[in-house]
Amino acid sequence: MTRVVDTAGLARWRESVTGSVALVPTMGALHDGHRRLIARAHEIADAVAMSIFVNPLQFGPGEDFERYPRDLDADLEICRADGVDVVFAPDQSEMYPREPEVTVSAGRMGTVFEGAARPGHFDGVLTVVAKLFQRVRPDVAVFGQKDAQQLALVERLVTDLDLGVRIDSVPIVRDADGLALSSRNRYLSARERETALALPRAIEAARSASGAQAAQDAARATLADAERQHPEFSLDYATLVDRATFTECPPDFRGDAVLVLAARVGATRLIDNASLHFVGQSLL
């Protein structure tokens, strides 16, 4: 049975749990991507906690904090249907009784790509994740690969600050047309949604290329076409990065990479990515 709790109720619930706990942190407006995280959490832990909190600290001035979709009733329906044990949906004053003086710094990795486009964003993300970990004390937390840079930074958060929480992740869940599910897709008109499909097309193009340089070139060519054809489409970045460090891959890169993509479609900023593995040339 799903229980909705405040901070004190959360602490009582946590004390009562004897098995392992998985936390699924979200900002609500739940979709099938979030549901995949819940399913994964059930697989790897005895009890599942979900947090639903639109975190003001990770939104910059002029971003969509005010208009970010919020629908707690619909979210709770999903949590009940999916057997979430506890939902922690604090309001702002419960999460931040006063303006925090001390926050987590995401370091260099927090200043590139999404961090360059959204200064302070990852400091805000890591600060709220650290606070949620303190309050829920999960054994494991489940994140989506949709937010690849966030996932890489959360992994560094727990190792660099010895938080003792295992991080698990789930591949990107996409709609039938290929667009990665996102709460922000609700902002798109039908026409903008069609235009946004340039992102998964760029990923397909990169996957069919061979070698790091060719993969990045193929993605950029697809996105440049989209910019020419659709004035409402504007590319921010399309770069192949080393998965562990988020530094740009050299042309002959071998190993685990992520092709990170960000674009604006009309007024909506969308991100997508693909994990790519590059092996050396066979000597045979």
How many residues make contact with ligand AMP (CB under 6 A)? 17
| Choices 29-37, 77-85, 116-124, 241-249 (CB under 6 A): range interacting with ligand AMP | 29-37
Q: Alpha carbon 74 to chain centroid distance?
A: 21
Strand 21-26 relative to strand 47-52, pairing: parallel
Considering only 15-23, 33-41, 86-94, 199-207, which stretch makes contact with ligand AMP by CB under 6 A? 33-41
For position 26 contacting ligand AMP by CB under 6 A, the verdict is yes
Evaluate whether 133 touches 163 at the Cβ level (below 8 Å): yes
Please report where in the chains the tokens 């690969």 appear, as a residue.
Answer: 145
Active site residue 34: yes
Question: Per CB under 6 A, does 85 bind ligand AMP?
Answer: no
3-state SS class at 144: strand
Q: Does 10 bind ligand AMP (CB under 6 A)?
A: no
- Cα–Cα dist 50/79, whole Å: 8
CA torsion angle 141 142 143 144 (round to 10): 180
Q: Are 53 and 79 in contact (CB under 8 A)?
A: no
173 Rama sector, left if φ>0, alpha if ψ -120 to 50, beta otherwise: beta
- φ and ψ at 279, to 5 degrees? -105, 160
Counting contacts by CB under 6 A, is residue 126 touching ligand AMP? Answer: no
- When the beta carbons of 114 and 147 are compared against ligand AMP, the nearer one is 147
Among the options 34, 121, 230, 277, which is catalytic?
34
Nearer to ligand AMP, 34 or 220 (CB): 34
What's the closest the beta carbon of residue 212 comes to ligand AMP, in angstroms? Answer: 24
Min dist CB 167 to ligand AMP, Å, is 10
- Nearest distance from residue 195's CB to ligand AMP, in Å? 18
Between residues 118 and 212, which has the closer beta carbon with respect to ligand AMP? 118
| Interactions with ligand AMP, residue window 160-199 (CB under 6 A) | 170, 172-173, 180-183
Contact 236, 117 (CB under 8 A): yes
Q: Name the residue among 84, 90, 98 with its Cα closest to residue 47.
A: 84
Residues that bind ligand AMP (CB under 6 A): 26-27, 33-34, 36-37, 143-144, 146-147, 170, 172-173, 180-183
**Could you list the active site residues?**
34
